[in-house]
Amino acid sequence: MQYNFDEMVQRRNTYSLKWDGEELIKEIGYTERYDHETIPLFTADMDLPVPQPLIEALHKTVDHRIFGYSIFPNEYFEAIQHWFKKRHNWTINKDEIVYSPGTVHALNIAVKALTKRGEGIIIQRPVYPPFTAAIEGNGRIVRNNAMIRNSDGYYTIDFEDFEAKAQEENTKMFVLCNPHNPTGRIFTNEELKRLSDICEKNNVIVIADEIHGDLIRKNQTFTPLAKIVSDTDHIITCTAINKTFNVAGLHCTNVIISNPEMRNSFREKMGMQLPSPFTISALIAVYNDGEEWLDQLTQYIDDTMDYVKSFLAEKLPTVKVTIPEGTYVMWMDFNGYGLSAQEIHHRIYNKANVLLEDGDLFGKEGEGYQRICIPSPRPLIQEALERIAKEFQDIETNNRLER
């Protein structure tokens, strides 16, 4: 079937964090202004309808009329195996799959189960902020292997620094984000192999957060880390349907742990986690029948990214952006204006009334950047960009006159 992603589905008054979360959003300090005119493009959550087979599967579950304690049927594991084999040629054994109600939850469990207070965990900033929270919130120490950005806005890994950090005596874990949020990098097989080898050599466990792995540009490929290394004993992979199929509210992450000792420790720390019947039917539906939708979605996101890039080139040429290899976020560099991070924030959040994510939330490397989530109907993205452009026109006009 043909999906119409330009359609704006009304999300206010649906318990949406993005659209109804005014109080919480203000409380956590994302913005001072939030009202019925705000365009929220901050959290990684799509404003696009989900695949039709998913809707039908959920209707069927509702129609049953009883929603008791549930257990995973074989079809659940088979659907996961089928998806990763077909999309990524990755073979997953059923007994390696551990359910978690969320990826951030799984990360916290892994940190608690497999490291001790005071031990070091490597992350690569600028990076998804809950990584820092999972480390510091559990009394562990962040070892930041900052990404290197070249003049074209392309990010690479500082391997020398990574190795030095992995060799530090109390470094026990590395949280890999691939595709990388917010820079959009998909690491190459060579990069992944090198990271994994360094970790293996230094007894550092890798938590590979690969939940953006199905959201990649049409001309890109994504390879799961565990697929390309011969020994996966030091690797834990987080996969999820939440980002790919826009079902964050259905709480479904699957953690792949091949090392039985690590798997037992992880399971023990997590305790019993029974799934919702909606989660089970959702996963089976999207992994078995969601491909057609995903292909259309990928095209829509690619086109929106092209649109954003050409809009900025025309109306806000001072803002630098590159099309990311993966993820549906774009990382926009506003530093060319020479304004403080506060002034950039003020113009976008208070004056334009668009809610993005301030780059410094991802680490000091993100200062002067803004992250925008773009899987919304294109007319909404257009309006947000027009509003932002208006607030920077004074400087753009001056810049043009000076050129």
Ligand X SMILES: Cc1ncc(COP(=O)(O)O)c(C=O)c1O
Q: How many whole angstroms separate alpha carbon 279 and alpha carbon 262?
A: 25
Judge contact between 341 and 367, C-beta under 8 A: yes
Q: 23: Cβ–Cβ under 8 A, 6 or more apart, which residues?
A: none
Q: 242: Cβ–Cβ under 8 A, 6 or more apart, which residues?
A: 102, 103, 211, 248, 250, 251, 252, 253
Smallest distance from ligand X to CB 125, Å: 13
Selected binder of ligand X within 17, 104, 228, 341 (CB under 6 A): 104
47 binds ligand X (CB under 6 A): no
DSSP for 248-287?
GGG--EEEEE--HHHHHHHHHHH---PPPHHHHHHHHHHH
128 binds ligand X (CB under 6 A): yes
User: Which positions from 186 through 245 interact with ligand X, judged by CB under 6 A?
Assistant: 209, 211, 240, 242
Smallest distance from ligand X to CB 25, Å: 15
Residue whose CB is less far from ligand X, 324 or 392: 324
Residue whose CB is less far from ligand X, 17 or 389: 17
| Pairing assessment for the beta strands 171-177 and 205-209 based on DSSP bridges | parallel
Smallest distance from ligand X to CB 50, Å: 16
Give how many residues touch ligand X by CB under 6 A.
13
Smallest distance from ligand X to CB 295, Å: 22
The 10 Å CB-count burial string (b at 16+, else e) for 144-174 is: bbbbebeeebebebeeebbbebbeeeebbbb
DSSP character for 202?
T
Residue whose CB is less far from ligand X, 153 or 249: 249
Stretch that binds ligand X, among 98-106, 115-123, 150-158, 221-229 (CB under 6 A): 98-106
User: Which positions from 6 through 45 interact with ligand X, judged by CB under 6 A?
Assistant: 44
Judge contact between 368 and 336, C-beta under 8 A: no
248 binds ligand X (CB under 6 A): yes
**Per-residue string for binding with ligand X, 269-288, x by CB under 6 A?**
--------------------
Sign of CA dihedral 45, 51, 54, 55: positive
Residue whose CB is less far from ligand X, 212 or 347: 212
Q: How many whole angstroms separate alpha carbon 32 and alpha carbon 248?
A: 26
220: its two tokens: 């890109």
Smallest distance from ligand X to CB 18, Å: 12
Strands (E), 58-111: 97-100
Selected binder of ligand X within 253, 258, 304, 376 (CB under 6 A): 253
Residue whose CB is less far from ligand X, 128 or 311: 128
Alpha helices in 168-259 (DSSP H): 189-201, 225-228
Residue whose CB is less far from ligand X, 253 or 304: 253
Give the residues across from 40 on adjacent strands.
355
Smallest distance from ligand X to CB 175, Å: 9
Q: 271: Cβ–Cβ under 8 A, 6 or more apart, which residues?
A: none
Smallest distance from ligand X to CB 386, Å: 26
Residue whose CB is less far from ligand X, 44 or 297: 44
Selected binder of ligand X within 3, 11, 33, 102 (CB under 6 A): 102
Q: Which residues bind ligand X (CB under 6 A)?
A: 44, 102-104, 128, 177, 181, 209, 211, 240, 242, 248, 253
